[in-house]
Amino acid sequence: MKDESHIVGREDFANKLVSQLIDEKGEHANLRVISVVGEGAIGKTALVRSVCNRADIKNHFDCCAWVWVGPKPNLVHLMADLLKQLKVQELRDVDLMDEEKLSDELARVLMGCCYLMVLDDLCELHVMDELMMVLADSRNGSRVIVTTRNPDIPSSIDPWYFKPLTLSSLDKEQSKKLLSKCRPASDVADPPVNLLSLKETILSKSGGSPPKILLLGGLLSATTSDRRADLAYRLTNGLPDRPTLQDVVRLSFNDLPGWLKQCALYLTLFPKESEIPTRRLFRLWSAENLVSSLSENGAEECFKILVSRHMVEVARQKWDGSARSCCLPGSLYDVFYQMAENERFVKIYDCSIHGKEKFDAPRIAKHRDISGWGEAKARINVPEAGRGCSETNAQEAHMEITPASDSSPLCGIQQLFSYVSFNTMKLGTRAGETAVLLKPLVPKRHSSLLRVLDLEGVYKPWLPEELGNILPNLKYLGLRWTLLERLPKSVALLSRLETLDLKYTNISTLPQSILEVENLRHLYMTEVDFDCSTHHLFPKKSLNCNIQTIWGLVINDESLMFGVLRKLTGLRKLALTWGGWVVSEATKHILNLEMLKYLRVRTEYLKDRTFENYEMGDMSRLKSLSNLYLLGHLGMQSLLESHIPPNLKVLTLFMSGLDNDPMGVLGKLKCLTTLRLFADSYRGVTLSVSEGTFPSLRVLKLWKLEGLTAWTIHANAMQCLEDLEIKDCKKLNKIDGLQHIKTLEVITLVRVPDELERSLGVA
């Protein structure tokens, strides 16, 4: 299901790494450090990420964390980033802690925990020494993985147990195997000899370097037969005999169409080696007009092209196999950022700089700890895009970015397109950078070209009450994780706003006028209700029927929102929490949302922490619905009566309290690819899968079905199943018929009876 091209030729290393991670016998129960060593861009990070994303590895450890260290790390920031990723039971404000408190907190959290920690690109030994003094060793098999270019580091941190995994260039056969993963555009008219010659040239130029092979292979896969002669010329004459990775990146980059170049360079706004949520990236591309905001699949198609070109890696996947997050490989980041800076497309500043920005590029980002970038940039020498490429590509390679001509702060701000901040360290005070940025616009009501204001993670940023007047072109306002308690009322005047992200803030109420913003497409919230009483604060307009996403809505007994739902006929994605008498009324309106593709419904607990029973009605009317998540006692009767959306691809049931086996009904869903039955979704003793059912199912998760003792799978059922995970089903001793499924690739068992493990041969 996943693209494993990045570990082709590294299978033995992957198996060794897995063995070292899960071996807890004898001395290996101690905290151990595993080193992965190799020169830059040899595939260390890709190998480790591939192994750490495996279900069996994730389930083996209680918690996992991954940080990029780099040339000049800040220990305080590293410890804070580690804590944010660990599963902490209590919410603690780690951004307010000094080094001593962070050390104490990290040691406390890790004590007794079997953890996996990855320190990517470790350059200096002293950082490891300081961290090892903090890391707790409970002799339960915890592991730290270090990737490094320095071959002397492994012998200094854990020399007695695990031999370092040292990666080198691929040999010829491994290189061929990797290149074969990049399938060229099929054309029967093209003589195979031409294709063979191109592949030989690519292998010769790549020298066994995985990223070079993948980049040139991606270029080949995107080249139609009528352009292969030109590609052969560029490979032969446009690259030296032993090209650097930067040479290969430039050649591949210059082959992209102009609009796709900008999408690729936009990735450099994010910190190096960071995980980028595709949700965020797609909305930013749209706000910058790099992809069409009207085409639902435009950003996704653009992303798929960059992945197929091996310019972007998928970091994590959703349950349906689509990308949840991505990463721009560090070796490509250095080259891309130099291109973006040369073209004045992007400029990165350190978070410590306030009021000294030159605004000499239309896109500004604030990063932490960029002092070490000098060493990375010194290793590369990248000309401006378009220089050093063929004449036919030179014009397209140049993106014609026009920076502000006036050096005054006001002029620079007015011509800024995007401002993205990653200043997540609170340091006890609310962030003042937006005040420095926006205050010059306020006195005279100057307006700005700013399309993107993304402050995700910035602590309580200052937003002027006049925001809606001074930023009339704003399309994306990202305030996720800012802990803001209120929103300026003038936000409802941002007529061009497409995305408003308020998730994980302290905002609990919004005026209904937000729903009247005529271009609003995506609204993300956390447990927010709309206050219809504030409607009079703004001129009365009709509701925006083009809203596609509402996430985090609350509808309770006092809410009037259920009456508004029926008017939002363009909704494609809806996530809400409800309870009380409004359920039946709101359900009627939801069942009329013909364009709805994703529905997530959570029922509020009663005072005794139980659920009241509600019915969803005949959901078979929702023909477009492909993803359904139900939490609470919802839809029991609907399941029994087969009132299920017929085109569902992903179904999740959580605490549904079903007494009757749902497999008979669910098995008839011809499009269902992912089924998740979570805690208390089914209370019965047995499950039975009938012959010929679940024809498309690929992923099945059974978690915490405490009464389940036996499961029977009849012949010719689930014939496409690839991934089976059973977790905390502590009475399930027997599965009959699993041997009939020949497509299974992964079986993951977590906290199940030994008898079941032995019967499946995974003990």
The token pair that represents 748 in the structure block: 């993951």
| Maximum distance among all Cα pairs of the chain, rounded to whole angstroms | 76
Q: What is the dihedral of CA 623, 629, 632, 638, to 10 degrees?
A: 20
Q: Which pLDDT belongs to residue 394?
A: 32
DSSP 483-498: ------GGGGG-TT--
Q: Are 67 and 78 in contact (CB under 8 A)?
A: yes
CA 281, CA 286: separation in Å to the nearest integer?
9
Q: Are 146 and 157 in contact (CB under 8 A)?
A: yes
The token pair that represents 406 in the structure block: 């006036």
Q: What one-character DSSP code corresponds to residue 68? A: E
Strands 476-478 and 499-501, how do they pair?
Answer: parallel
The token pair that represents 254 in the structure block: 């210059």
Q: Which pLDDT belongs to residue 186?
A: 58
Q: Are 506 and 483 in contact (CB under 8 A)?
A: yes
617: left (phi over 0), alpha (psi -120 to 50) or beta: left
Q: Which pLDDT belongs to residue 87?
A: 63
Q: Which pLDDT belongs to residue 318?
A: 86
Q: Are 314 and 326 in contact (CB under 8 A)?
A: yes
HSE, side-chain direction, 13 A CA sphere, residue 704: 9
Give the global pTM.
Answer: 0.85
The token pair that represents 686 in the structure block: 């047995």
Place of tokens 């192994």: 51
Which residues pair with residue 500 across a beta bridge? 477, 523
Q: Which pLDDT belongs to residue 379?
A: 37
The token pair that represents 569 in the structure block: 């006929």
439-478 core/surface letters (b: 16 or more CB in 10 A; e: else): bbbeeeeeebebbbbbbbbbbbbbbbebbbbbbebbbbbb
CA 65, CA 47: separation in Å to the nearest integer?
16
Is 312 in a helix, a strand, or coil? Answer: coil
Question: Which portions of the chain are predicted below pLDDT 70?
Answer: 1-6, 25-27, 87-93, 95, 159-160, 185-193, 293-296, 352-357, 369-412, 424-432, 443-447, 532-542, 558-560, 562-563, 580-581, 605-613, 635-642, 762-763
